[in-house]
Amino acid sequence: MVALLFFIGCFGFILYPTLYSAEDYEKEYPLQLDNEVLRICNESNIDYRKSLYASALYDITDEPSTTQRNHQQHQPQPAPQQPPSNGTEPMIYFVTPTYPRREQIAEIIRLGQTLMHVPRLHWIVADDTDSCSDTLNKHIRKFGIPYTQLASPMPELYRVRKNAPRGVANRRAALNWIRQNQKKTGVLYFGDDDNTFDLKLFSEIRTTRKVSMFPVGLIGDYAISSPIVRNGRVEGFFDSWPAKRKWPVDMAGFAVSLEYLALSPNATMPFKAGYEEDEFLKSIGLKMGDIEPKARNCTEILVWHTQTKSSKSPTVRISMDRQKLDKLNLGALLRQLESMGVNHISDSAGTTAQAIVNGSVKPLSFWFS
Ligand code: UGA
Ligand code: MN
């Protein structure tokens, strides 16, 4: 089913201490947009993975056990990471902003295969596009994870900026989906499509009462962004980019319970690159005392801000009739890559496609001569 819903946001204005007048600030970073798009492309509430995770979640702890320290024989004993799902644990709403580029499908496959191990998870894949991508859907649905695929493009006004606010329109669409569907129990987490998630992260964030926080590896000039914890309480932050932020954390470094989110019906994320996390957390009225440190009092790194190096799509030159390639595997292979934007085929430009047969290079037409 494809439903198209336009709606007018009714978000409150956040006061912000800058040189801007309130009016200029609102013009530059409006919290309210006139025709924000939330296109619900596809949904499934059926979990086809149950047999997979029923009994097989293990925690491999990297701390040496007493036996290992004493150099005695160590029998590896996989400890269950979390009790098998009984179907009543709080649901995790895992929001992934994504956008079409040549690495998109590869990222989604890697992330989807992580999420396949996590019970009671609803994956909101929010694509930064005008229209629903069938190619993306084909890949998402094969994981068997309950999911919602949304399309919500970044407004043109922001896309042309040098420092565009990435993943905001689509995260806002996911927030709106959560509200429209009256999801008031469970946990919200923003998980970008290129990050790396330890399975233990999910059992940690699942019990979030208000807002939980934890370290994110590979961030900035310290290679880590983390709350500073003393006696089990968050007292400050360790992050190499303070930038006058009250909450200097990465998007991957916190989770919010939906009960708590529901207390702030106007909570949102501004189109302000670098300040999305800070302003979102301000908009839910977060207080220091509300933060629960996770990951063993923020001593473990359960999420990594990995980034995939992007490179230009190559053009492959094929001057012969491409339909002939359907007699070989190459027809189907190249069509798939083109549909994902991984490469382009041209009959007049690019690197000439050739075959290698018994060590000698041949033109592709070799097969048809
Ligand atoms: C960092 C933070 O980790 C992000 O959470 C934050 O949104 C971003 O900075 C920002 O402030 O702009 P970074 O790795 O630098 O992330 O950015 P990307 O991974 O390129 O983008 C973040 C997310 O937005 C990704 O899931 C990506 O797929 C998505 N995105 C990116 C879009 O939806 N549209 C785009 O045009 C670009
Ligand atoms: Mn990223």
Closest CA to 268 of 71, 31, 25, 20: 31
Alpha-carbon span 254 to 228, nearest angstrom: 14
- Domain identity same for 122 and 271: yes
- Domain identity same for 93 and 231: yes
Q: What is the pLDDT of residue 133?
A: 97
79 in any annotated domain: no
CATH number at residue 161: 3.90.550.10
List, chain by chain if needed, residues with CB within 6 Å of any ligand 1 atom.
97-99, 128, 154, 165-167, 170, 192-194, 250-251, 273-274, 276, 305, 307
- Domain identity same for 164 and 287: yes
66 in any annotated domain: no
Q: Domain of 339?
A: 315-367
Q: What is the pLDDT of residue 300?
A: 98
- Domain identity same for 150 and 293: yes
Q: Is 277 noted as a catalytic residue in this protein?
A: yes
Encoded tokens for 253: 């470094």
Encoded tokens for 1: 């089913």
Output the average pLDDT for the chain. Answer: 88
Alpha-carbon span 39 to 33, nearest angstrom: 16
Question: Looking up tokens 């994504």, which residue turns up?
Answer: 98
Q: What is the pLDDT of residues 91-129, one digit of tens each?
A: 999 999 999 999 999 999 999 999 999 999 999 999 999
Domain end point (choices 249, 270, 304): 304
Q: What is the pLDDT of residue 128?
A: 98
Which amino acid is located at 309 in the chain?
K
Do the Cβ atoms of 39 and 150 come closer than 8 Å?
Answer: yes
Burial of residue 32 (CB within 10 Å: 0-12, 13-18, 19+) is middle
- Domain identity same for 280 and 340: no
Do the Cβ atoms of 145 and 220 come closer than 8 Å?
Answer: no
pTM: predicted TM-score of the whole model, two decimal places: 0.86
69 in any annotated domain: no
- Domain identity same for 288 and 195: yes
58 in any annotated domain: no
Confidence of residue 29 (pLDDT cuts 50, 70, 90): low
- Domain identity same for 134 and 264: yes
61 in any annotated domain: no
- Residue 304: DSSP 8-state: E
The mean per-residue pLDDT over the stretch 236-261 comes to 98
160 in any annotated domain: yes
Q: What is the pLDDT of residue 32?
A: 59
Q: What is the pLDDT of residue 206?
A: 98
Give the ligand at the shortest distance from the Cα of 152.
Answer: 1
190 in any annotated domain: yes
The mean per-residue pLDDT over the stretch 171-192 comes to 97
Other beta carbons within 10 angstroms of residue 260's beta carbon come to 19
- Domain identity same for 239 and 176: yes
Structurally, how many domains does the chain consist of?
2
- Domain identity same for 226 and 197: yes
Helix (H) or strand (E) holding 180: helix 168-180
DSSP reduced 3-state for 147: strand
- Domain identity same for 170 and 290: yes
Distance 111 CA to ligand 2 centre (A): 13
Task: Tell me which residue has its CA closest to atom 8 in ligand 1.
Answer: 166
Q: What is the pLDDT of residues 139-167, one digit of tens each?
A: 999 999 999 999 999 999 999 999 999 99
